[in-house]
Amino acid sequence: MSNLPSVMRKLQSRFRFDPGYLVVLAIVILVLWPFLSRASLPSETDAELHIFRLAELSSLVQGGEFYPRWAPDFYHGYGYPIFNYYAPLTYYLGVPITLLPGLDAVDGVKFVFVLGLLGAAFGMYGFVRDNWGRAAGYVATAVYLYAPYVQYIDPHARGVLPESFSLGMFPLALWALDRLRRERTAWRVGTAVIFVAALVLSHNLMGMFFFGVLLAWAGWQVASSKFTSGKWRVKDAQTRRLANAPFDALFLGFLLAAFFWLPVLLERNAVNLTTLIGAGDNYDFRTHFLSWAELLAVTHRLDWGATEPFFAFNLGVAQWMLGGLGVIMLLLRRTRRMAQVAFFALSAFFLLFMMLPVSTFVWDAIPILPYFQFPWRLLGAAVAVLAILAGAGLAALLDVGRNWSGRVRAGVTAVAVALPILLGLPLTQPAPWPDFGEPSLLRMSLIEHTGRWLGTTSTADYVPVTVEVIPARRGNVVRGFDTNEPLDRVNRPTLPEEVSVVSTELSPLHFHYDVMAPRAFLLRLFLFDYPGWTVRVDGEVVDTELARPEGFIVVPVSAGEHVVDVRFADTPARTLAWVISGMALLMTAVVAWQSRRSRLESDQRHGLLVTVDRLQMTDWVVLTAVIVITAVTLFILNPLGVLHLQSTGYVAELAETAVFADFDGQIALIGYDTNATQAQSGDTLQVNLYWKAQQPQDINYRVFVHVLAPDGYLSAQSDKLNPGDFPTRRWPLDKYVLDDYTISLPMGLAPGSYTVMAGLWDAASGQRLPVQDADGTFVGDHFPLFTLEINELEEK
């Protein structure tokens, strides 16, 4: 009985609950609300691709293929290895949802979006709370969650599920490693390794980028500890063991994810990856740097009257202000854990540098960087470090005002939490989306038939290199999608008349063919060849041939009765990857077993800010402020529609200049913006056009924007295949299309008045669409937008 109090204290410490999580949950409600309050998901973002990938994976899992690296139903049923190359975690997290009654892949994707945002909230709060206290954790959570990129751009505007989820895994992994470096307990070892592996498995690019950040952070902790103390502060063996703990977890987590990344690395030459890097197009990183004006821009209301509402790739004003507070306090040497703060301050400067054009030489010098495609992708990482700086800055401010009353301290914290929420309110109102519909394989096949995308990619990414020409869709192959039967992948028109082939699908990646042939022939399959496909005839592995240029598998079959077995199996590289992952899992279990230790005592001994188990005044004030903002937003502002614009008719409310140019009753130009009406040679001219379809289009028109000299000579131009990156055939009648152009003015332009004009033309006929007046009279084949004054080039 004498040991009972000690046992109770240990149990209480192990199952302590921080009520601050309730405040965090209140903070995140408005970010989650669009997903929670609306049915379905939009079909005009990348979310559509992830929905169909999840639907395919769910079908494969239900068919007994638990880790398929091949998607057999994509590319018109010819298949391709998307699951061998694309980070799998988000899809596997969504699969259990699709297996529940009444739910499908749309619900699965929505669930993972919500899960990632919750991970971002709780991970950021946990890390900052442990280092700078609860109040700082609240501020960091609000700064991170209400950053435009985290709150809206990734999950809604782009719909990029894996990348959005990686923004949740990063703070969770950072938090787990930070706790582990204080004490190696079994729980902390396990969670750190799992979250590191989850981060690597979340997104091909950002997962590895964040892994590098964590590796740099762990190294910084060791270096800063030795630098600040000049020697190890406690026993060498114990301190070094703690210092190495994050590196051990990073190493084991990375190896645990080897089943994914190792085949990607070793089999990268088996598929087409060249289309992931562009030259002067949408996938060229040089076209996606940000300017200081964009980074510092204010968040504006979204226009529900646009097909794709305009938004800025900005960091957020509150993020700048509060993150800047952390930097200022660091420079004043007022922050606690200055080494931690210094790391994140330097990280912020580095990330900002990498998003600006001045970093072009770095992107050119490092071969892997062009695969990131969009430098603005680093916005997510930038706001993460700014959020941490904001929390540290708030803690430092409260330390400076340690003599303030409790009410003042609570008020300052509440204002710091409320600021990013209030400035982020416009992005809590993404434009409504219609019902996605059923994510069936038949619908997927029909979308592929339209040419909008193939295999949930638009540039032939990850297609086997043996495929020289993408073959057309064949009705006899995809018929199974309509009849809900296995696809018949036998090229039956090429079979000799006397040959009989009966096919049976044993599993989605295992096919069985009973063949009866009076003479030798070639069994041609509508199945892309790729490492892993193994063909056996009567139990013996045979060498297949390649049908060019389509890249299909061809099986030589001799005369007689045979059983042809076609199965997708692991290659040596994939087997090695599984072995490494298995060994990492075993090593993690061993390390965790060896690290069993009481948690509360280690937290107190190594400087963790152990929180009290009840809400204090500051917590209540913050919670009240957040609840009031949330209630006013949901029950007053949202119903009144004041948080968004709603352009109707032939009006684009965002357009700086309203016009109406009627292009043959087909399409109207209803407005434009420009960054300058005066310029010099060598300047860059930005022109935004606002188009509105007047009736359904059966032609994909192209747009031209020309700069004409005073004598009518064409001085500069910018043409676009799909105005607004949205083919005119798909333009709705109830929304306008925003179409942006960047025109480089050549050197040597003579001073004078130049005319900037725009028009539409049909590439098939070469004809321009005529412009007509209110009476229907033809008035030209272009519309003059404005006069551009070219001034004398100033000498520098």
Sign of the alpha-carbon torsion through 405, 407, 410, 412: negative
Query: What DSSP line would sit under 277-341, residue for residue?
Result: S-SSSTT-GGG----HHHHTPPPPPEETTBSS--------HHHHHHHHHHHHHHHTT--SSHHHH
Window from 180-194, 236-250, 490-504 with minimum mean pLDDT: 236-250
* pLDDT, tens digit, 9 for 90 and up, residues 479-516: 999 998 999 999 999 999 899 999 999 899 999 999 99
Query: Between helices 134-145 and 105-132, what is the axis angle to 10°?
Result: 140
Distances (CA, A) of 738 to 110, 264, 784: 27, 38, 18
State the Cα–Cα distance between residues 511 and 528, nearest whole angstrom.
14
Q: Are 755 and 783 in contact (CB under 8 A)?
A: no
Work out the angle at residue 723's Cα, subtended by the Cα atoms of residues 719 and 729, and round it to the nearest 5 degrees.
130
Closest CA to 508 of 76, 77, 52: 77
Give me the pLDDT at residue 7, please: 47
At residue 429, φ and ψ (nearest 5 deg) are: -120, 65
- Residues 6+ positions from 493 with CB-CB distance below 8 Å: none
Residue 236 belongs to what H/E stretch? helix 236-256
Give me the pLDDT at residue 44, please: 85
* pLDDT, tens digit, 9 for 90 and up, residues 519-564: 999 999 999 999 999 999 999 999 999 999 999 999 999 999 999 9
* pLDDT, tens digit, 9 for 90 and up, residues 759-786: 999 988 989 999 998 878 888 999 999 9
Coil, strand or helix at 160:
coil
Say yes or no to pLDDT of 287 above 50. Answer: yes
Label residue 237 by pLDDT band (50, 70, 90): low
* The token pair that represents 534 in the structure block: 């193994």
Place of tokens 């040597």: 748
Q: Are 590 and 584 in contact (CB under 8 A)?
A: no
Q: Are 513 and 527 in contact (CB under 8 A)?
A: no
Label residue 260 by pLDDT band (50, 70, 90): very high
40: left (phi over 0), alpha (psi -120 to 50) or beta: left
Window from 19-28, 176-185, 597-606 with minimum mean pLDDT: 597-606
* Mean pLDDT, all residues of the chain: 91
The model carries a pTM of 0.93
Work out the angle at residue 170's Cα, subtended by the Cα atoms of residues 216 and 118, and round it to the nearest 5 degrees.
160
Closest CA to 241 of 182, 193, 195: 182
Say yes or no to pLDDT of 5 above 60. Answer: no
* The token pair that represents 760 in the structure block: 């539409």
State the Cα–Cα distance between residues 172 and 622, nearest whole angstrom.
23
* The token pair that represents 363 in the structure block: 């992107």
State the Cα–Cα distance between residues 783 and 781, nearest whole angstrom.
7
* pLDDT, tens digit, 9 for 90 and up, residues 656-708: 999 999 999 999 999 999 999 999 999 999 999 999 999 999 999 999 999 99
Sheet containing 545-547: order of strands:
521-528, 552-557, 545-547
Distances (CA, A) of 527 to 79, 269, 331, 540, 546: 7, 19, 62, 20, 10
State the Cα–Cα distance between residues 794 and 329, nearest whole angstrom.
42
Closest CA to 739 of 673, 690, 676: 690
Say yes or no to pLDDT of 306 above 60. Answer: yes
89: left (phi over 0), alpha (psi -120 to 50) or beta: alpha
State the Cα–Cα distance between residues 554 and 148, nearest whole angstrom.
51
Percent helix, percent strand, percent coil in the chain, to nearest 5 = 50, 15, 35
663: left (phi over 0), alpha (psi -120 to 50) or beta: beta
State the Cα–Cα distance between residues 296 and 321, nearest whole angstrom.
10
Query: Between helices 20-37 and 406-423, what is the axis angle to 10°?
Result: 20
Window from 298-302, 717-721, 747-751 with minimum mean pLDDT: 717-721
Closest CA to 749 of 720, 702, 703, 707: 707
Give me the pLDDT at residue 461, please: 87
On the CB side of 562, CA atoms within 13 Å amount to 26
- Other CB atoms within 10 Å distance of the CB of residue 7: 9
Share of the chain above pLDDT 70, in %: 93
Q: Are 335 and 326 in contact (CB under 8 A)?
A: yes
Coil, strand or helix at 688:
strand
Give me the pLDDT at residue 379, please: 97
Q: Are 89 and 202 in contact (CB under 8 A)?
A: yes
Q: Are 419 and 322 in contact (CB under 8 A)?
A: yes
Give me the pLDDT at residue 283, please: 82
Sign of the alpha-carbon torsion through 244, 250, 251, 252: positive
Q: Indicate the length of the chain as a whole number.
A: 796
Query: What DSSP line would sit under 751-762, residue for residue?
Result: SEEEEEEEEEE-
Query: What DSSP line would sit under 198-214, residue for residue?
Result: HHHHH-HHHHHHHHHHH
Coil, strand or helix at 554:
strand
Give me the pLDDT at residue 796, please: 47
